[in-house]
Amino acid sequence: MNIEKFIQRTEVLHKRLADLYQTASVLPWIPADLLPQAFKELYNTLKIVQLAAEELYQQNEELIQTRNWLEAERQHYQDLFELAPDAYLVTNPEGIIQEANHTAAKLLNVSKHFLVGKPMINFVPLEERQHLRSELIQISQSDRVKELLLRLQQRYGESFDASFTVAVVRNHQGKAISLRWILRNVTERQHLESAIVKNDSDLFNHRPIHKYCKGETIPLNPLLIWYVCQGWVKLSTYCETGEEVLIGLATAGMVFGSSLTSLNIYQVTALSDVELVSIYAAEITASPTLSHILLPKINQRLQQTESFLVISGRRRVQERLHHLLELLKREVGETVPGGTRLNIRLTHEDIASACCTTRVTITRLMGKLQEEGIISFDLKKHLILKDFD
């Protein structure tokens, strides 16, 4: 019985009792003091029931409003889950899918009905399944949000690179009861980022160009990193005896800056007319795109520095010179008929500082290599390396 019918019947009962009371009060065989008292008590009791029914009706109305509000909220969050642009999954700690939204089903090329109850591992290539099993164990044991990158295989479709963001849900006893997953297809983004890296100079077109002439010393600021747009610069320091030591070369597309070294003395000299743009270190921290572009370039500088360190560690001067020329061939070489031309002109003093020897020794060794036909010079005095074995 609903509340409205209950109240209607209570009102009918109240009317009938009132009619009965009036009829009984005039009957001659019933004591005059008995019926009025009994009906009065019954009437009062009925009034209490009627008030209770009205309160119950009011509470029922409030419950209906609350239920409607909760249903609207439930539908709202269900729509957020279902229509979200990212793929959402809910699994148990073992990776069995319990819920999936429309985007997840579309991403995996299956219906939502098919997804529920299926292990996530079914959509991972065989060679990566053991990795996912290990990650599931670690995720269930940790309270941190986990970021993963795995290959996914669509049902009757193509495979793609996917990023996963996974969070664990625990009960009051701290036991993992479910996992929440966000899935994204990052293949297109990786291609886009790769294209950006290949054309990274476009990102610096809006920045002012700083030009320095050959031989000029380029100023350094610990808050800035310089990006070489054009030209070559020499990176050097000075030893205790005051002699300059060559520690690196930065060409177009490379970066340098005092914040990238721990040396107390760090000097940068233009080996040609150069064009540079400056980037604040704080920008790199705040911009994932800049970080993505500059990290490989910083890594390139680190690798080059290590190569110079290896050269200085060679025992014989001839070996140091050999490896330096090979390094220069790789870093600033250009293929020409008859060998590889170095696009920058280093003095014998520069080469000597990189080889930890004297200029006189380098001049003698270079002359010997020229006599043997291993090196030569073009009309502009650029060094050409032939087959240098």
Please report, as a single letter, which amino acid is at residue 335: T
For all residues of the chain together, what is the average pLDDT?
79
Q: Can you say how many angstroms the Cα of residue 346 is from the centroid of all Cα atoms in its chain?
A: 42
In this predicted structure, the answer to whether residue 197 has a pLDDT above a threshold of 50 is no
Q: Which two tokens stand for residue 214?
A: 């050959």
**R_g of the chain, CA atoms, integer Å:** 42
Alpha carbon distance 278, 282 (integer Å): 12
CA dihedral (335, 336, 340, 344) positive or negative: negative
Residue 164 above 70 pLDDT?
A: yes
| 257 close to 248: Cβ distance less than 8 angstroms | no
Cα separations (Å) of 40 from 8, 10, 14, 22, 261? 21, 17, 12, 11, 101
Give the count of alpha carbons within 13 A of 229, CB side only: 19
User: Is residue 231 left, alpha or beta, with left meaning phi > 0 and alpha meaning psi from -120 to 50?
Assistant: left
Tokens found for residue 39 = 């009906």
- What is the tens place of the pLDDT at every residue in 177-191? 999 988 888 775 544
Residue 282 CB partners (closer than 8 Å, separation 6+)? 223
pLDDT tens readout for residues 284-332: 777 777 787 888 888 888 888 888 778 877 888 888 888 888 888 888 8
Contact 140, 176 (CB under 8 A): yes
| pLDDT per position as a tens digit, 91-131 | 999 999 998 888 888 888 888 888 889 998 888 888 888 88
Q: Give pLDDT tens digits for 343-360.
A: 878 888 888 877 878 889
pLDDT score of 212 more than 90: yes
CB atoms within 10 A of CB 104: 24
pLDDT tens-digit series, residues 143-160: 877 777 788 888 777 888
Classified as helix, coil or strand, 265 is coil
